[in-house]
Structure 1
Amino acid sequence: MIVEDVLYGSYEVEEVLARLILSEEIQRLKDVHMAGPAFLINPTWNETRYEHSIGVMLLIKRFGGTIEEQIAGLLHDVSHTAFSHVIDLVLSNKTDDYHEQIKAQLIEDSAIPALLNQYGFDYRQILFDDEQWGLLEQKAPLLCFDRIDYTLREVYRYFSVPLQEIQYFLNSIKIIKKQIVLESVYWADWFIEQYRKVVIDFFYDPQNSCSYEWMSKAIQLGLANEEIILDDLMMTDSAFLKKLKSTGSTEILQLLGNMDHPPEYRVCSSEDDYDIQQQKKIRFVDPLVRLPDKIVPVSKVSKTAQVKIDKMLNESKKGIFIKFD
């Protein structure tokens, strides 16, 4: 099977990966949007968990990861609910990891274990501990291909970063002792700036924050009124939205209607009489760089990088405050 990606090109993948890609569980991710409900306000924010999952798998393949790690990369987001991280706001889950909490059970209840067993793979060893895979997952602020893919994908699509520039960055990556290391301070600084665009400019875009607020309240109402259940969120975005609208609740329909016709708003400060306040999970990166005699976090050798990191952390801690006019 040939898999094509706008960022990474064409790759032939092994049969087990092809079977997994065609599975119901991975195909569902074609209608689970990375931006959650924000795409209902801005249809151009249409990146999906499917694209991201394919991208992570291909990056792992490109940089020499084992077939097991490619499988883990492809399936790392398989348990994301409809509208992605909106469920974390619904449940006041500040660690943004509800999909991780339900991942093992979803896999156990799926056809994935039997499929992997056909090819001689133990699904428990591969899928239940992503941190064993150094290319797929690393604790912040280190780089991993999960963070790299969604960053590159979103700055390419939403911030018009040239594809050639992205390719130059990818060419600067080296794998040293199972860690992602960049060959120059320049590309480490560059990636910090791209990451900031995603976690500050995009995640805290007022339309993004408003959509999460309205959708989370609609879901909370549906759950409280027993018109929906948590398992319904394992549908696709489209199917779940249809179910939510079918409740007929005036309050739910009004909240969802805000996304079709958003009210006027302005970003304000914590001292103002705000209507929405959101603070998302704190995210930042401090890439490793290779110097002639050592490998160090770029912040140790670049004041520019340290300033960018500090600014990102301060903006993340501040969050966003929105007032409707």
Structure 2
Amino acid sequence: MIVEDVLYGSYEVEEVLATLILSEEIQRLKDVHMAGPAFLINSTWNETRYEHSIGVMMLIRRLGGTVEEQIAGLLHDVSHTAFSHVIDLALSNEADDYHEQIKARLIEQSAIPTLLRQYGFDYEKILLDDEKWPLLEQKAPLLCCDRIDYTLREVYRYFSVPIQEIQQFLNSIKIIKEKIVLSSIDEAIWFIDQYRKVVIDFFYDPRNICSYEWMANAIRFGFEHNEVTLDDLLTTDSIFLERLKSSNSNEITQLLKKMDHPPKYTVCSSDDNYDIQQKKKIRFVDPLVEATDKIVSVSTVSQIAQIKIEKLLDDSKRGIYLKFY
């Protein structure tokens, strides 16, 4: 099977990966959007968990990861519910990890363990701890394939960053002692800038914030009045949205209508009489670089990088306040 991606090109993958890609569990992710319900307000915000999952698998492959780590990368987001992280807001889960909480149970109840056994792989050894795979997952602020892929994918699609710049960055990556290291300070600063576009400019775009708020409120109301269940969220965006639309709740109907015709808004401060306040999970990066024969965090050798990281952290901690008019 040939797998193609706009960022990484084409690769012929092993049969086990092809089988997993064609499985119901991975195909479901074609209708689970990375930005949750934001595409209901802006149809161009249409990146899916499927694209990201394929991308993570391919980036791991490009960087020399084993088939096992590629399997882990392909399946790392398999348990995301409809509209991705909106469930975390609905449940007031500040860790943003509901999909991780249910991952083992979802996998064990799926066809994935059987599919993997057919090819001689043990799902428990591969899928239940992403942190055992150093290319796939690293604790922030280090780089990993998960963090790199969604950043590059979103700045390419939503901010028109040239593919040539992205390729130059990818070519600067080295793997040293199982860590992703960049060959220059300039490339590290470039990635910090791209990451800011995603976690500040995109995540905190008021339309994105509004879509999350209204969908989370619709889900909360649905839970409280037995209109929807947590299991309903294990379907897809389209199916779950139809479930909400078919409810008899005027409150849910009005919340969904706001997506079609959003009211005008202004960004305000915590001192104002605001209507929406959100603070996302704090995310930042401090890439490792080669400097004077050592591997160090770029913030320790570049004041520019340090200032950019501090600004990103300050903006993340502040969150956003919106008022409608």
Q: Same fold by TM (over 0.5)?
A: yes
1:301 maps to which residue? 301
Could you give the per-residue CA deviations for residues 48-91 of structure 1, whole angstroms, max 9, x where no partner exists? 00000000000000010000000000000000000000000000
Which structure 1 residue ranges, 4+ long, deviate > 2 Å from structure 2? none
Q: Secondary structure, in 3 states, of the residue corresponding to 1:277? A: strand
Give the whole-Å Cα distance in 1 for the aligned partners of 2:185 and 2:268.
Answer: 36
Instruction: State the Cα distance separating 1:191 from its structure 2 match.
Output: 0.2
In structure 2, what is the equivalent of residue 11 of structure 1?
11
Query: 1:10-159 counterparts in 2 under 5 A?
Result: 10-159=10-159
How do 1:104-253 and structure 2 match up within 5 A? 104-253=104-253
Residues of 2 paired with 1:11 and 1:88: CA distance? 35
What is the distance in 1 between the residues matched to 2:210 and 2:291? 44
After TM superposition, the structure 1 = structure 2 runs for residues 270-309 of structure 1, keeping only pairs within 5 Å, are 270-309=270-309
TM-score (norm 2): 1.00
Q: How far apart in 2 are the matches of 1:264 and 1:280?
A: 22
Length-normalised TM-score, structure 1? 1.00
Instruction: Count the aligned residue pairs.
Output: 325
Shift of 1:293: 1.5
Identity %: 78
Instruction: Provide Cα deviations, 1:161-213, integer angstroms capped at 9, x if missing partner.
Output: 00010000000000001100000000000000000000000000000000000
SS at match of 1:322: strand
Query: Any gaps of 5 or more consecutive residues in structure 1?
Result: none
Distance 1:17 1:293 in 2: 38
Counterpart Cα distance in 2 of 1:123 and 1:161: 37
Counterparts of 1:126 and 1:289, CA distance in 2? 29
Look up the equivalent residue of 1:48 and give its one-letter code. Answer: T
SS at match of 2:267: strand
Instruction: Report the CA distance between 1:292 and its aligned residue.
Output: 3.3
Letter in 1 for 2:168: Y
**Deviation per CA, 1:15-73, whole angstroms, max 9, x where unpaired?**
00000000000000000000100000000000000000000000000010000000000
- The match for 1:267 is 267
Question: What secondary structure is seen at the aligned counterpart in 2 of 1:59?
Answer: helix
- Report the residue type matching 2:94 in the other structure: K
Taking only aligned residues, the RMSD between alpha carbons, in angstroms, comes to 0.4
Deviation at 1:114, TM superposition (A): 0.3
Q: What do residues 251-305 of structure 1 show as CA deviations (whole Å, max 9, x unaligned)?
A: 0000000000001111101110000000000000000001231000000000000
CA distance in 2, matches of 1:145, 1:215: 29
Distance 2:56 2:2 in 1: 16
Q: Distance in 2 between matches of 1:242 and 1:294?
A: 55
* Structure 2: 5+ residue stretches without partners: none
The one-letter code matched in structure 2 to 1:27 is Q
Partner of 1:147, secondary structure, is: helix
* Letter of the 1:303 counterpart: Q
Aligned amino acid, residue 302 of structure 2: S
Q: Which amino acid aligns with 1:6?
A: V
Paired with 1:177 and 1:70, the residues of 2 have a C-alpha distance of: 19
